[in-house]
Copies of this chain bind each other. A is one copy, B any other.
């Protein structure tokens, strides 16, 4: 099909959809460092994890050698409801920019959760159901993950308890109602449901909550409730495994038209979308079969790759989850306000951290206002109203395309468009009204936060 005109949207046939997830760690010579028990600081065992997590998901979390893991038939059926997602050729953006670059984006927003989060949510719900559990707990900040998990649990008839950061709960009532539509119970965090919630409310009666606190509440409820486990939408390697469907579909679609990307760009929060998108490309790079520039884009307000340390740290502020070796700003780091809630995480997935450490990918930071300007420019020509998180990748894709305009190079750029911004219009409003600031931590703030890292070699 090399000479065929590339369509605006490449959709795979159902028969071309991936039947396996790809576990990138299998192709890494230097594996990511193991998770450590938060108290003993020794590598955590499957048994220890099983108090909180589902058994099959623990197996996936700890599996560093199986490259291809079969996607169960039930999950593939669900995927068919909203996948394959289109790989879009951004003809209109290219024309607007007058660039010789060829720009493609993998669009994950065409489902009710509005993002790629559903790819892992349905897998986690499936394994929980298969284990005979009656429900799962989780936390949600911006709301995408909670929505995705609600949809997945509804499909498999599983209870779903979501602890939603209180300020989000109040500011995003629509997100809350979507979750309720799918039958989830949504509790503002901190709550009186848990010991940790009661303690925090006693100490800080007016608190609007934090993701760290919501995680601690969700973990506590899962531990104390018969037939429940806790599930998480990012950071973990199991999540990156499930999200590899994004990259696998992208690569199949590109291969179908003999397209080889030069640059692959993803926004980076905890790493779920970035890791999923780049997985098969990074795999080819690790095996020496191909080379690509791979760029992780972070918000200037929360620059874990670009300004953090590569060290063991807690995954949550409550310090109840395992320790992970990763690029981190410190588990106590509070990112200054940014509307891309999905990128406000102090750390980074351990596999991606190791790859970054090995110099196999680049990191870039962009500021909030330039991200929204790029989002608006994109929306006006490509039609899609992007999520603030996704727009970080848009910004850098446009920058790279403009460099091609200067040099005349016809580079092929692929970026991940993780979701839509329908529930982020408050942020767009701030931007339209010129009320949006740009934020960046000082060196002193970062150093102060990093000085509290746990002392682990």
- Give the B-binding residues of A (Cβ under 8 A): 7-9, 11, 13-14, 77, 80-82, 91-92, 110-112, 114, 151, 154-155, 173-174, 177-178, 180-183, 376, 379-385, 420, 422-423, 425-426, 428-429, 432
Contacts and interface: CB of A to CB of B under 8 A. Distances in A.
Contact of A429 (B11, B177, B428): B177
B425 A177 contact: yes
Contacts of A181: 376, 379-380, 385, 428, 432
A173 B428 CA distance: 11
Number of copies of this kind of chain in the complex: 2
Closest 5 CB pairs of A and B: A174-B425, A8-B80, A177-B425, A112-B385, A422-B422
Contacts of A111: 383-384
B14 A7 contact: yes
A133 B117 CA distance: 44
Nearest to A92: B81
A384 B432 contact: no
From A9, A177, A423, residue with most partner B Cβ within 10 Å: A177
30 contacts: A7-B13, A7-B14, A8-B80, A8-B81, A9-B80, A11-B11, A81-B383, A82-B383, A110-B110, A112-B379, A112-B383, A112-B385, A112-B420, A154-B380, A155-B380, A155-B381, A155-B383, A173-B425, A174-B425, A174-B426, A177-B425, A177-B429, A178-B385, A178-B422, A180-B428, A180-B432, A181-B376, A181-B380, A181-B432, A182-B379
By DSSP majority rule, is chain A's interface helix, strand, loop, or mixed?
Answer: helix
A155 B381 CA distance: 6
Contacts of A379: 112, 181-182
A35 to B, nearest CB: 33
Contacts of A423: 174, 422
Contact of A81 (B177, B180, B382): B382
A21 B211 CA distance: 51
Contacts of A114: 422
A119 to B, nearest CB: 13
Nearest to A430: B177
A7 B384 contact: no
Contacts of A383: 81-82, 111-112, 151, 155
Given A151-B383, A155-B383, 14 more contacts: A7-B80, A8-B81, A77-B91, A81-B383, A110-B110, A112-B379, A177-B425, A177-B429, A177-B432, A178-B385, A178-B428, A181-B385, A182-B379, A183-B380
Contacts of A154: 380
A387 to B, nearest CB: 12
A256 B8 CA distance: 21
Nearest to A157: B380
A14 B444 CA distance: 55
A385 B118 CA distance: 14
Given A81-B8, A110-B110, A183-B380, A425 B178 contact: yes
A382 B432 CA distance: 35
B385 A428 contact: no
A19 to B, nearest CB: 15
Nearest to A109: B110
A155 to B, nearest CB: 7
A425 B180 CA distance: 10
Contacts of A426: 174, 177
A114 B384 CA distance: 10
Nearest to A81: B383
A91 to B, nearest CB: 8
A376 B177 CA distance: 11
A394 to B, nearest CB: 14
Contacts of A174: 174, 422-423, 425-426
Nearest to A12: B11
Nearest to A376: B181
